[in-house]
Structure 1
Amino acid sequence: MNANTTMPKIALGAWSWGSGVAGGDQVFGNHLSESELKPVFDTAMGLGLNLWDTAAVYGEGSSERILGDFVKDTDRDNVLLSTKFTPQIASDSPDAMQEMLDGSKERLHTDVIDVYWIHNPMEVERWTPDLIALAKSGQIRSIGVSNHNLDQIIRANEILGEAGLHVSAVQNHYSLLHRSSERAGILDYCKEHGITFYAYMVLEQGALTGKYDSAHPFPQGSGRGDSYNPHLAEIERLTDALRSIGDRYDASPAQVAIAWAIAKGTLPIIGVTKVRQVEEAAAAAQLHLADDEVSLLERLGDETGVNTLREWEQDMETSSRNS
């Protein structure tokens, strides 16, 4: 990580930026232009939220391209860039990881990536060693693994350790509806080894913001609509509690859900498409929940009975080494 740049409590996600396969239009039902997103970027940077998470696969590179167009007009020392190598879209070339990184660097207008991730744990033994040359050549400042179970994280750390490197970050789905990384011991492992745990989908793609309920569903035909609309009735007690606790702090349900993730020792990644969302995220970082509020939210989350495991994920509690 850039030694001159302070790590914020929240990362901002650009998964919903761009379009195409795995892009914002198909997954989120969004249709956003650069002119709409530039004020979002500028506001975030002004508020000190300078850690941006994206991936080569998001919108087939269009998320990185939009973010990069903003980064090129910014002092690079003031922005932290997190992007990912996705094995599923890798070429058959022996230099597949280097090639994907080169594409990301070009789109992001940078020579170095602050956090570079293996996006999915496909063939841990094959792909993890390829990170070593990238790190030792200074092209990436720190190494992350995403969607890995505990065995896979430990194995990646062993492989990197042989070269004097280590896993610096883990990025998994983690929310009030999906705490399998906690139950599997991944959060504890990260704390014990000084690894930053990035929590993605903390707001369950909007399902925990209070904006959507059975009377106000997600856009039909979007990936998140297909995933969450059938369960909106079951999570209303949880979103009601988020709203009630928020009223005590003059905060929104989304801010309370973000504050919960921070209280658990994680660094939440919050997808942002509007200036208001950035401002809310910045304020959420200053919100401190009481222990009984954390416990209540977790009990209500468990009681929903809703399983938000997505098609690209493994159940961290039941999965075994798959390398």
Structure 2
Amino acid sequence: MRSLPLGDGLHVSAIGLGAMGMSAYYGPTDETEAIATLRHALDIGVNFIDTAEAYGPFENEKLIGRALGNRRDEVIIATKASAEMDDDGTIRGRNGTPEYIRRAAERSLRHLGMDVIDLYYLHRVDPNVPIEESVGGLAELVRAGKVRHIGLSEASAGTLRRAQAVHPIAAVQSEFSLFARDMLHNNEKATADELGIGIVGFSPLGRGTLTDGIRSLDELSPDDARRGLPRFQPDAFAANRRLVDHLEVLASEHGATVAQIALAWVISEGVVPIPGTRHRSRLDENAHAAELHLTDAERTRISEALPQAEIIGSRDGIDAPSGVDR
């Protein structure tokens, strides 16, 4: 697996693994297979594992600790300070104060069973706390040796500039896929590139839509959180699936799957994708996307196969960066 840089000094596998679904949100989970998948990731060179205290809450970090604690030197762990939560998981709303960031980091280290976090994000910008203060809190953790690199998630271009002025930002994490290309048009990616900030793309497979794995909503369990998202409403899902079918011809030309073509396109845009999966077979499929190299003409054909104007429904209920300086 080739590696890609994030910021200055951090290199990660060209494709990472989003671990969220191993503990929550997407229906029933299987801890045995989840642990096997996490360990298999390292075996095949996928060394960039993404989690957050919110996933579970806390359960995903604990799972990763159980699975990978004895392979610490092989893995790059990214986790996040999320909305303020009590130790029992009660959510109290956003809190970007340095005090909460420190408390959350200590708790994450305890749950992971690790001495240092490789990449620590502020999960969402707190509109009531200047970003300079939040980044200052993250920087304190670096100086204390608790964190190696820091990042932001879903941050606007203006926020990135203010944050970078306080402490080097290794990465900004935003949703990015053929179904979610906002950062190409709202100045977020251009600003990150200018400042030398790496970009990590979550949901690079459109939460499973950009694969051959979900062809009907009937395949989702009743408690799957995707059922509440705009693009997973019946009419929107059917229309968007028809667009995905256009990729199958392009994928076949490469002897690849739709998921692999979609991930190769993300990588070609200079973004490190972190597709989530709970199964070793899908992990292997995703990892092979790093071997695909697209020409400029192929990238254009892929983009045009899914015209943004024809995508139905907003991406989710989470506020995306709007370009407003927060």
TM-score (norm 2): 0.87
Per-residue deviation, residues 164-216 of structure 1 (Å, max 9, x unmatched): x3111000011111111111122122222221100111111101113223575
User: Within 5 Å, which residues of 2 pair with 1:142-157?
Assistant: 142-157=149-164
Structure 1 gap segments, 5+ residues each: 19-23
User: Within 5 Å, which residues of 2 pair with 1:8-47?
Assistant: 8-18=13-23, 24=24, 27-29=25-27, 31-47=28-44
Distance 2:184 2:84 in 1: 26
Distance 1:7 1:60 in 2: 26
Deviation of residue 217 (structure 1)?
A: 5.2
3-state secondary structure, aligned to 1:84: strand
Structure 2 gap segments, 5+ residues each: 1-5, 87-91
Deviation of residue 247 (structure 1)?
A: 0.9
1:311–1:57 distance in 2 versus 1, CA, 3 Å: same
The match for 1:198 is: 200
Distance 1:94 1:141 in 2: 17
For the aligned residue pairs, the C-alpha RMSD in angstroms reads 2.3
The match for 1:229 is: 232
The match for 2:74 is: 78
Per-residue deviation, residues 255-285 of structure 1 (Å, max 9, x unmatched): 1111010010100011020001111121011
1:229–1:309 distance in 2 versus 1, CA, 3 Å: closer
| Residues paired across the two proteins, number | 305
The match for 1:313 is: 319
The match for 1:137 is: 144
Distance 2:171 2:29 in 1: 29
The match for 1:111 is: 115
38-47 or 305-314: bigger deviation: 305-314
> 2:308 corresponds to which letter in structure 1?
D
Aligned identity (percent) is 27
> 1:28 corresponds to which letter in structure 2?
Y
TM-score (norm 1): 0.87
Tell me if the contact between 2:186 and 2:323 (Cα under 8 Å) persists in the aligned partners. Answer: no
The match for 1:21 is: none
Distance 2:42 2:288 in 1: 14
90-99 or 201-210: bigger deviation: 90-99
3-state secondary structure, aligned to 2:291: coil
Deviation of residue 131 (structure 1)?
A: 0.9
183-192 or 290-299: bigger deviation: 290-299
Distance 1:15 1:136 in 2: 28
